[in-house]
Amino acid sequence: MKILVTVKRVTDYERKVKIAADGSSLVTEGMSFVANPFDEIAVEEALRLTKAHGGEVVVVSVGSKDSTQEVRKALAMGAQRGILVVAGDDVDSDVYARALQKVVEKEQPDLVLVGKQNTDDDANQEGQLLAGYLGWPQATFASKEAGLDSDEEKAQTPGIQIDGQKATVIREADGGLEFINIDLPAVVTADLRLNQPRFASLPGIMKAKKKKIEEMDLGSLGIDPSPKVKYVAFAEPPERKAGQTVPDVDTLLDKLRNEAKVL
């Protein structure tokens, strides 16, 4: 089977993002960038599925040419091919999804795996938009049921089960777990507990340097790059007021009732 997986370049989620003095944008100068962690989970799941069923993993990213680094990382993990749709840095979820639609129509994969959300905007829209544009079934927030296997088996077993042209996806819900059966081809978004992504080995890194990354221009796909979502302003959240220490429970209840008015 052929699996198409997305990898987006995002700001390092472990670093504090700074806001420009005029509040119009974020300061990216000197900021480190990484592959979206949910996309790394999707790459890992694709590698496990192709190990179990055979096939090819194709990684695709939409963004600036700097995104080549994140594609190379996925190739070092074990993906066979990479595709970069060269676009600006202000690509929103809709433009990203429409670019992916064109790539999917060209590649004709059996399955598309997408991280459930990107840690830069947390929009949680690309997978759903892509499935809508393609007219494909979708299963969101793919997770993995606890207790099915030993820890060692979990490290190798795909969380998404494939049987012919059907897939079973386990997703977390408020009341427990949902088992979703979908027909392939389909779009699945990966949640946090689906798996633990592997580290790229030194041989994998060396091999990735020789693997092919095909470049496409966003304009050549016939897509209007104008984002539908525009950021008006950025601002730090208001500082929290200092807490108060009270001498006893009665005073606490009085303040909650008469000052905070939550009782």
Amino acid identity, position 134: L
In a domain, 118, yes or no: yes
Q: Among 38-42, 95-99, 242-246, whose mean pLDDT is lowest?
A: 242-246
pLDDT at 150 over 70: no
Distances, alpha carbon 249 to alpha carbons 243, 245, 252, 262, in Å: 16, 11, 5, 15
Domain at 204, CATH number: 3.40.50.620
Higher pLDDT, 31 or 163: 163
Residue bearing the bigger pLDDT, 135 or 15? 135
**CA 103 – CA 222 distance, rounded (Å):** 12
Percent residues over pLDDT 90 in the chain: 48
- 227 vs 109, more confident: 109
Residue 198 DSSP code: P
Q: Is residue 135 part of a domain?
A: yes
DSSP string, 153-179: HHTTS-SSEEETTEEEEEEEETTEEEE
What H or E segment, with its residue span, contains residue 256? helix 249-258
207 in any annotated domain: yes
Q: Is 87 a member of any domain?
A: yes
Residue type, position 63, single letter: G
pLDDT score at 87: 87
pLDDT tens figures, 32-75: 888 889 999 999 999 999 999 999 999 999 988 889 999 999 99
Residues 161-184 have a mean pLDDT of 90
Which strand (E) or helix (H) includes residue 63? strand 56-63
CA 167 to chain centre: 20
pLDDT-derived band at 250, boundaries 50, 70, 90: very high
Residue 263 has pLDDT above 90, yes or no: no
Number of domains in the chain: 1
Whether residue 185 is preceded by a cis peptide bond, meaning omega within 30 degrees of 0, is: yes
- Residues 196, 48 contacting (CB under 8 angstroms): no
**What average pLDDT is seen over the chain?**
87
Q: In this structure, is residue 263 part of a structural domain?
A: no
Euclidean distance between CA atoms 189 and 201, whole angstroms: 26
Inter-CA distances, 198 with 13, 60, 76, 217, Å? 19, 19, 10, 31
Using a 10 angstrom Cβ sphere, with 0-12 exposed, 13-18 middle and 19 or more buried, the burial of residue 222 is: exposed
pTM for the structure as a whole? 0.83
Report yes or no on 115 lying in a domain.
yes
Q: Which domain does 140 fall in, by range?
A: 2-258
* Mean pLDDT, rounded, for 235-252: 87
Q: Quick check: 187 pLDDT over 70?
A: yes
Q: Which two three-digit tokens encode residue 184?
A: 């392939």
Give the pLDDT confidence score for residue 153 in this predicted structure. Answer: 53
% the chain with pLDDT above 70: 95
What is the C-alpha separation between 60 and 64, in angstroms, rounded?
A: 12
- Whether 99 is in a domain gets the answer yes
Contact between 85 and 103 under an 8 Å Cβ cutoff? The reply is yes
**pLDDT for 155 beyond 60:** no
Helix (H, G, I), strand (E, B) or coil at 207: helix
